[in-house]
């Protein structure tokens, strides 16, 4: 049976689509998109893991952070998680909040924004005992403007559609997805005609060398503008993997970062397994910070996830363990903590803490000490 994306490209007048449109279709199409399909994507039976699924300790740490930010800044008890996945993070966070901060739990309203009906069903099944959760498919559907509270996302932006650009002999080319004679997917390159992409590269960089390939995340720009307009007063936590411009310019990244994950294997060809494979890119950290600033979001802290968790007090959860049972809850939690602060994967993630209309000195207690440590 012919895959819908093949038919879609065949029906285009120029027989090709850009990578952003390709990713939009194979990841988010309501009928055949990867994230919309009824299949396990996260965990052992899926295609990838997320750090929030390692152990409840991840959500426990963020529960205390969210509570502190709300109290220090006199914010309403409102948390909005964008891209809730299986609902495990929200479940563990709400359970911890209920146990640790019972006085404020009844004041807490928790929103989950999730575009996948399949994931919403999973979330409702897991979170059915909580009555303070509201599910929305988009920010617009929340109908909550101006928003005051906390926005949180984990590994969301890396799955946004991107355009793919290459530089050859001093000229820029855009990479398109087309069809071979046997109607299999292939790439074609044409001189760059999109002025928005050209302007993005000129404004935000990095400087491309000949034969270098890179992704341009125009969708990220729109996302930042949207959440900045949405948030009237509050804090935004973004967790994702990415590179600074100086890292993009290193030889090891000259082939870009667009990859697939299929049955826990990294797939270098993003055109394999359409609709059956996760597609992801590293976000551009310098542009993310600059575009946020231009739109009124103040970046208070950018640090690696392992460092953030240590600053946030994860080591306080380590317990002395004389239990010889490696499967006891204490043993599993201790292993999870060590994994989160020593594993190379955790070091590749960044936590970006941003605020709007909050005082920097009050926003989060360890911010100032962290900045002084960097001097």
The residue-averaged pLDDT of 199-204 equals 97
Mean pLDDT of the chain: 90
Q: For residue 50, what pLDDT is reported?
A: 63
Report the alpha-carbon distance of residue 185 to residue 162 in Å, rounded. Answer: 18
**pLDDT score recorded for residue 365:** 82
Closest CA to 97 of 147, 150, 156: 150
Closest CA to 84 of 41, 47, 45, 44: 41
Contacts of residue 108, defined as CB under 8 A and 6 or more positions apart, other chains included, come to 77, 78, 79, 94, 97, 132
Domain hosting 265: range is 4-15+29-159+218-374
Position 142 confidence tier, pLDDT thresholds 50, 70, 90: confident
- Asked if residue 353 is part of any domain, the answer here is yes
Torsion of CA 222, 225, 227, 231, to 10 degrees: -170
Asked if residue 318 belongs to a domain, the reply is yes
The answer for residues whose C-beta is within 8 angstroms of residue 181's C-beta and 6 or more apart is: none
**Average pLDDT for 62-74:** 96
For residue 278 the two structure tokens come to 């996760």
179 part of a folded domain: no
Residue 175 · residue 19 · CB < 8 Å:
yes
pLDDT band of residue 42 (cuts 50, 70, 90) is low
Q: Across residues 99-108, what is the average pLDDT? A: 97
Mean pLDDT within 273-299: 96
Mean pLDDT of 267-284: 95
Mean pLDDT of 79-91: 93
Residue 174 lies in a domain: no
From 32-41, 98-107, 337-346, the region with the lowest mean pLDDT: 337-346
pLDDT score, position 375? 38
Whether residue 335 is contained in a domain is answered as yes
Q: Is the pLDDT of residue 168 over 60?
A: yes
Query: Are the CB atoms for 88 and 158 separated by under 8 Å?
Result: no
CATH number at residue 39: 3.40.50.12710
pLDDT > 80? residue 161: yes
Say if 253 falls within a structural domain. yes
- The token pair that represents 346 in the structure block: 């955790």
Q: Which of 163, 82, 92 is nearest to 116 (CA)?
A: 82
Supply the pLDDT for residue 370: 59
Confidence of residue 54 (pLDDT cuts 50, 70, 90): low
Tens-digit pLDDT profile for residues 244-255? 999 999 999 999
Q: Say if 316 falls within a structural domain.
A: yes
Structural domains of the chain, count? 1
% of residues, the chain, pLDDT over 90: 72
Give a yes or no: residue 199 inside a domain: no
Most confident of 49-63, 86-100, 348-362: 86-100
* Structure-token pair, residue 187: 């790439």
**Residue 144 reports pLDDT greater than 80:** no
Cis, peptide link before residue 146, omega less than 30° from 0: yes
The whole-number pLDDT of residue 55 equals 66
pTM (2 d.p.): 0.92
């Amino acid at each position: 049976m012919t895959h819908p994306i093949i038919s879609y490209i065949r029906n285009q007048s120029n027989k090709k689509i850009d990578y952003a449109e390709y990713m939009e279709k194979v990841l988010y199409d309501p009928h055949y998109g990867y994230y919309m399909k009824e299949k396990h994507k996260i965990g052992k039976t899926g295609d990838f893991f997320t750090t929030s699924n390692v152990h409840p300790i991840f959500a426990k740490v963020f529960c205390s952070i969210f509570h502190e930010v709300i109290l220090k800044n006199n914010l309403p008890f409102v948390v909005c998680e964008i891209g809730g996945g299986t609902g495990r993070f929200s479940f563990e966070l709400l359970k911890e909040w209920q146990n640790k901060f019972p006085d404020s739990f009844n004041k807490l309203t928790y929103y989950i924004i999730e575009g996948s009906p399949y994931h919403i069903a999973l979330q409702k099944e897991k979170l059915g005992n909580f009555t303070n959760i509201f599910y929305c498919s988009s920010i617009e559907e929340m109908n909550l403007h101006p928003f005051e509270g906390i926005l949180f996302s984990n590994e969301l932006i890396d799955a946004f559609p991107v355009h793919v650009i290459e530089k050859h002999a001093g000229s820029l080319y855009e990479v398109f997805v087309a069809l071979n004679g046997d109607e299999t997917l292939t790439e074609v390159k044409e001189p760059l005609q999109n002025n928005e992409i050209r302007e993005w590269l000129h404004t935000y960089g990095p400087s491309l060398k000949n034969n270098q390939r890179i992704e341009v995340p125009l969708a990220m720009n729109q996302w930042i503008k949207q959440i900045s307009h949405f948030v009237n007063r509050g804090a935004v936590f973004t967790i994702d993997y990415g590179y600074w411009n100086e890292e993009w310019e290193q030889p090891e990244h000259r082939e870009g970062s667009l990859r697939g994950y299929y049955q826990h294997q990294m797939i270098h060809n993003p055109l394999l397994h359409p609709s059956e494979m996760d597609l992801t890119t590293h976000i551009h950290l310098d542009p993310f910070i600059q575009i946020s600033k231009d739109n009124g979001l103040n970046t208070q802290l950018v640090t690696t996830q392992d460092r953030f968790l240590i600053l946030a007090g994860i080591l306080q959860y380590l317990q002395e363990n004389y239990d010889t049972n490696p499967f006891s809850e204490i043993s599993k939690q201790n292993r999870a903590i060590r994994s989160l602060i020593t594993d190379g994967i955790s070091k590749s993630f960044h936590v970006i803490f941003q605020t709007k209309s909050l005082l920097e000195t009050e926003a989060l207690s360890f911010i100032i000490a962290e900045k002084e440590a960097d001097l």
